[in-house]
């Protein structure tokens, strides 16, 4: 360790309600009952982080921390301050560390953001999805349409230089005018980072059941492509440029360094129920249920549910898959001879940039971004 960035991800498994499209490892209070609570989870988290630091020997201080979920903002600023204190106690924070928390706009306030700044957070990511009420209804989102923009403004007023808003596009019933209004609202909020994700119908979710019953149509690939092009055009015109297929930033400093650590093969410890970790070519994941997670840690054992040691083939596949999604692309020397030949064919097909390839890198064109997964398959199966 020490040769690559080191991040810490903390998974908060609590949500006030369950969104119909979400398949993350989250639980409402009614689903948990008395089996687990934020207090027992936080106790388990402290134990896991302390065990992690001892296991890794002398790990580097964390370059980045990302608190996700679930709904971390349900913990309040004080609770999130305790989470960061636990990370700081176990690993320490590197100078100028990036510290992010996700937040649901409905569980934030000016006082909340001020408390986060005081605790040491440097970045906030807010779930917005859409400004259209009927779109939010299909997604089972409970926030009011204007609240995410107000929350973003409050975060900036509290001193957060880096604020992200998330969008979801392709929801059944979403019109082009709805999407355009959502992007305009994002721009009005003055944030320096935007993430936009195509709606995916995940098996086992309420949304999947509605689609299967014919109550809602499945997202249309052609519509998704048109939506993506609209988002990219509007954001780029406003000075937010893509640096990863689903992420735009106003400057290099506004890019999410924690996620870049994932995409560039860094090491990270994922703490919390169901969290995934990667250190030195070994990947593992935690037990999912919060009660079981805390119980195992109370016995002095890491709550590992499974692990895998990545071989050369898996490492190569993941490098191509992740780095190709970045605006800087993938060095050609990361490909074998067949992959290089296929990259040249992809240039002819308009999927990779000709000039970048001549300079030794495989970089997606605008059309290539729409077909990124297909380009990856071509480069690794040549």
Q: How far is CA 265 from the centre of its chain?
A: 15
Reading the chain (382 residues) residue by residue, the pLDDT tens digits are 667 789 999 999 999 888 888 878 888 888 888 888 999 999 999 999 999 999 998 888 999 999 999 999 999 999 999 999 999 999 999 999 999 999 999 999 999 999 999 999 999 999 999 999 999 999 988 778 889 999 999 999 999 999 999 999 999 999 999 999 999 999 999 999 999 999 998 998 999 999 999 999 999 999 999 999 999 999 999 999 999 999 999 999 999 999 999 999 999 999 999 999 999 889 999 999 999 999 999 999 999 999 999 999 999 999 999 999 999 999 999 999 999 999 999 999 999 999 999 999 999 999 999 999 999 999 998 6
Q: Are strands 330-331 and 361-362 parallel, antiparallel or unpaired?
A: antiparallel
Q: Where are the alpha helices (DSSP H) in 203-311?
A: 206-212, 221-237, 257-263, 290-298
The C-alpha angle 358, 364, 365, rounded to 5 degrees, equals: 95
CB-count exposure of residue 13 (10 Å: 0-12, 13-18, 19+)? buried
- Residue 21: predicted pLDDT: 85
Distance of CA 242 to the CA centre of its chain: 15
- Phi, psi for 70 (deg, rounded to 5): 60, -170
Question: Which residues lie below 8 Å from residue 214, measured CB to CB, with a gap of 6+?
Answer: none
Within 158-250, residue ranges assigned H as helices are: 176-189, 206-212, 221-237
Residues 6+ apart with CB under 8 A from 233: none
- Is 291 in contact with 299 (CB distance < 8 Å)? no
pLDDT of residue 240: 98
Tell me if 265 sits within 8 A of 319, measured CB to CB.
yes
Amino acid 1: pLDDT: 66
Of the candidates 18, 130, 137, 5, the residue with the CA atom closest to the CA atom of residue 71: 18
pLDDT at res. 219: 92
Inter-CA distances, 77 with 90, 101, 108, 121, 272, Å: 20, 10, 9, 10, 18
* pTM (two decimals): 0.95
CB 174 within 8 A of CB 182: no
Domains of the chain: 6-263 (3.20.20.70), 313-381 (1.10.10)
């Amino acid at each position: 360790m020490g040769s690559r960035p080191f991040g810490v991800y903390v998974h908060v498994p609590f949500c006030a309600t369950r969104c119909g499209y979400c398949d993350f490892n989250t639980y409402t209070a009614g689903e948990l009952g008395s089996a687990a609570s934020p207090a027992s989870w936080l106790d388990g988290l402290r134990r896991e982080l302390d065990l992690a630091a001892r296991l890794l020997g002398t790990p580097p201080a964390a370059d980045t921390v990302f608190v996700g979920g679930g709904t971390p903002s349900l913990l309040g600023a004080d609770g999130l301050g305790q989470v960061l204190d636990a990370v700081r106690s176990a690993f320490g924070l590197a100078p100028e560390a990036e510290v992010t928390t996700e937040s649901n706009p409905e569980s934030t306030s000016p006082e909340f953001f001020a408390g986060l700044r005081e605790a040491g957070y440097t970045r906030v990511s807010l779930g917005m999805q859409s400004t259209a009420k009927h779109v939010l209804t299909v997604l089972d989102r409970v926030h009011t349409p204007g609240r995410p923009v107000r929350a973003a403004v409050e975060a900036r007023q509290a001193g957060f230089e880096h604020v992200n808003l998330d969008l979801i596009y392709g929801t059944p019933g979403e019109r082009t005018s709805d999407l355009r209004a959502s992007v305009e609202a994002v721009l009005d909020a003055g944030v320096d980072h935007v993430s936009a994700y195509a709606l995916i119908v995940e098996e086992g979710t309420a949304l999947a059941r509605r689609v299967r019953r014919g109550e809602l149509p499945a997202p249309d690939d052609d519509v998704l492509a048109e939506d993506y092009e609209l988002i990219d055009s509007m954001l780029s015109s406003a000075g937010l440029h893509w640096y990863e297929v689903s992420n735009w930033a106003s400057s290099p400093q506004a890019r999410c360094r924690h996620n870049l650590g994932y995409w560039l093969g860094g090491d990270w410890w994922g703490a919390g129920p169901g969290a995934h970790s990667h250190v030195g070519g070994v990947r593992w994941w935690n037990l999912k249920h919060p009660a079981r997670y805390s119980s195992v840690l109370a016995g002095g054992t890491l709550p590992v549910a499974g692990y895998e040691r990545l071989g050369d083939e898996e490492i190569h596949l993941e490098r191509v898959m992740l780095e190709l999604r970045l605006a800087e692309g993938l060095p050609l020397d990361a490909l074998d001879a067949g992959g290089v030949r296929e990259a040249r064919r992809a240039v002819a097909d308009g999927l990779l940039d000709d000039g970048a390839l001549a300079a030794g890198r495989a970089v997606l064109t605008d059309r290539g971004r729409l077909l990124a997964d297909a380009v990856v398959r071509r480069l690794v199966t040549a």
